[in-house]
């Protein structure tokens, strides 16, 4: 399948770089998932308190900050600013109680620079290993009147990476637990990993369901999960051959590039608001592909062209937005107990 991307480079408010056409996935990656480079201007290097919004770009362009490239530094600081934002999209349902409190259910959200649909896997900050994943089944915004409070949570099934002994490479064991709600992206990626893991390590890996229908604040999401088979082929092969396992490839979390970490979420009504002055005036964000539209638990086509199966938690007890109208319990975290962890791997 061929793909093409129309890219708008980020820059400072006094430059409008032309759009670029990228025609291969090999030239696109989640940039802030890797360490962002240092700014080119000595002034910005020595004064990290300056961010995109409070930097005097005219002064830097005129040479007052030393030698540097304003467009490069602007793209770095703009990307970091976008990393702190979130935008909910496609409201599916809204419930309101007699006190004016609202609960809104959404089909997806931009979290930092990443777009997350219901049914996608995300990396979690919480957990004993720091490598657990959640398949998001619902995105809920809770808006309280008194005191005025807005909170966004994600609900979904939590999976942990697990292994089984596989002494016979020609007859790998079947996982003791079968779950048809795992997205096919995760299934196919594990099949890819096991082609190397089983013959070289005599172990087989699988996704173990450790908590269905778990609820977390969006600040506990590190970011989207990306297939090892797509973005980490060489590091994975090296790790396996060195006896280092197959699930510890390092990757930044949302908030790492800014140093603000967890709790830096700033709501923006749309993507243009998140981009601010880093894109030319009049820039429009056009959705190129339709989102998943079929019910949870059915095979459908994801936005990146790969078939996924929506994770559904306990399908016999589907999510009900009405239960979230009991506002006295909105802050409670029902479900498993997690230990804090600062391991930024997946």
Asked if residue 58 and residue 203 are part of one domain, the reply reads no
* Burial class (CB within 10 angstroms; exposed 0-12, middle 13-18, buried 19+) of 83: buried
Rounded Cα–Cα distance for residues 114 and 52 (Å): 19
Q: What is the band of 130 on the pLDDT scale with cuts at 50, 70, 90?
A: confident
Asked if residue 317 and residue 223 are part of one domain, the reply reads yes
Best-predicted range by mean pLDDT (32-41, 109-118, 243-252): 109-118
**pLDDT(160) > 50:** yes
Q: Is residue 277 part of a domain?
A: no
Whether the CB-CB separation of 30 and 252 falls below 8 Å is answered with no
Cis peptide before 49 (omega within 30 of 0): no
pLDDT, average across residues 109-127: 93
Asked if residue 76 and residue 60 are part of one domain, the reply reads yes
Asked if residue 180 and residue 59 are part of one domain, the reply reads no
Q: Tally Cβ neighbours within 10 Å of residue 306.
A: 14
pLDDT of residue 201: 93
Asked if residue 22 and residue 150 are part of one domain, the reply reads no
Higher-pLDDT residue of 284 and 266 is 266
pLDDT, average across residues 131-139: 95
Q: Is residue 278 part of a domain?
A: no
Asked if residue 17 and residue 91 are part of one domain, the reply reads no
**pLDDT(43) > 60:** yes
238: helix, coil or strand? helix
Q: Is residue 198 part of a domain?
A: yes
pLDDT of residue 290: 53
**pLDDT(5) > 60:** yes
Domain count for the chain: 2
pLDDT digits (tens, 9 = 90+) for 277-335: 999 998 888 765 554 344 343 333 333 333 323 333 333 345 565 555 544 444 444 43
Out of 34-43, 80-89, 194-203, 241-250, pick the least confident.
Answer: 241-250
Asked if residue 230 and residue 100 are part of one domain, the reply reads yes
The pTM for the full model equals 0.81
**pLDDT(133) > 60:** yes
Q: Is residue 240 part of a domain?
A: yes
Q: Mark which of 61, 83, 105 sits at the end of a domain.
A: 83
pLDDT, average across residues 198-206: 94
Asked if residue 121 and residue 65 are part of one domain, the reply reads no
Tokens of 157: 């099934």
pLDDT of residue 118: 96
Nearest to 122 by CA among 34, 208, 216: 216
Q: Is residue 60 part of a domain?
A: yes
Q: Mark which of 60, 83, 106 sits at the end of a domain.
A: 83
Asked if residue 37 and residue 163 are part of one domain, the reply reads no
Q: Is residue 13 part of a domain?
A: yes
The residue segments making up the domain with residue 103 are 86-271+289-329
- Residue located via tokens 């319990």: 329
pLDDT digits (tens, 9 = 90+) for 205-231: 999 999 999 999 999 999 999 999 988
Whether the CB-CB separation of 126 and 221 falls below 8 Å is answered with no
Distances (CA, A) of 251 to 222, 255, 285: 10, 12, 27
Q: What is the band of 26 on the pLDDT scale with cuts at 50, 70, 90?
A: confident
Asked if residue 144 and residue 43 are part of one domain, the reply reads no
Asked if residue 67 and residue 159 are part of one domain, the reply reads no
Asked if residue 227 and residue 152 are part of one domain, the reply reads yes
């Amino acid at each position: 399948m061929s793909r093409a991307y129309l890219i708008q480079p980020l820059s400072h408010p006094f430059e409008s770089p032309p759009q670029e056409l990228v025609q291969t996935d090999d030239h696109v990656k989640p940039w802030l998932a890797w360490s962002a480079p240092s700014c080119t201007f000595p002034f910005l290097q020595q004064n990290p308190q300056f961010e995109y919004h409070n930097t005097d770009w005219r002064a830097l362009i005129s040479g007052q900050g030393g030698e540097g490239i304003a467009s490069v530094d602007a793209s770095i600081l703009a990307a970091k600013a976008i990393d702190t934002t979130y935008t909910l999209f496609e409201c599916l349902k809204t419930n309101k109680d007699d006190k004016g409190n609202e609960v809104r259910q959404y089909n997806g959200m931009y979290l930092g620079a990443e777009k997350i649909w219901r049914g996608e896997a995300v990396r979690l900050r919480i957990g004993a290993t720091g490598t657990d994943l959640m398949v998001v089944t619902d995105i809920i915004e809770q808006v309280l009147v008194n005191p005025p409070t807005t909170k966004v949570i994600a609900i979904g099934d939590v999976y942990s990476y697990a292994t089984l002994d596989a002494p016979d490479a020609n007859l790998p064991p079947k996982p003791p637990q079968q779950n048809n709600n795992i997205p096919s992206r995760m299934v196919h990626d594990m099949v890819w990993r096991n082609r190397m893991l089983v013959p070289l390590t005599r172990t087989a890996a699988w996704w173990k369901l450790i908590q269905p229908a778990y609820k977390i604040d969006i600040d506990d999401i590190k970011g989207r999960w990306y297939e090892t088979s797509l973005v980490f082929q060489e590091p994975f092969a090296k790790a396996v051959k060195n006896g280092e396992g197959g699930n510890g490839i390092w990757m930044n979390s949302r908030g790492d590039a800014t140093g603000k970490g967890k709790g830096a979420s700033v709501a923006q009504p749309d993507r243009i608001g998140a981009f601010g002055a880093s894109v030319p005036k009049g820039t429009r964000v056009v959705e190129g592909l339709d989102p998943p539209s079929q019910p949870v638990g059915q095979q459908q086509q994801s936005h990146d062209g790969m078939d996924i199966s929506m994770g559904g938690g306990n399908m016999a007890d589907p999510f009900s937005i009405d239960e979230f109208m009991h506002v006295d319990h909105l802050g409670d975290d029902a479900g498993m107990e997690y230990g804090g962890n600062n391991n930024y791997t997946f």
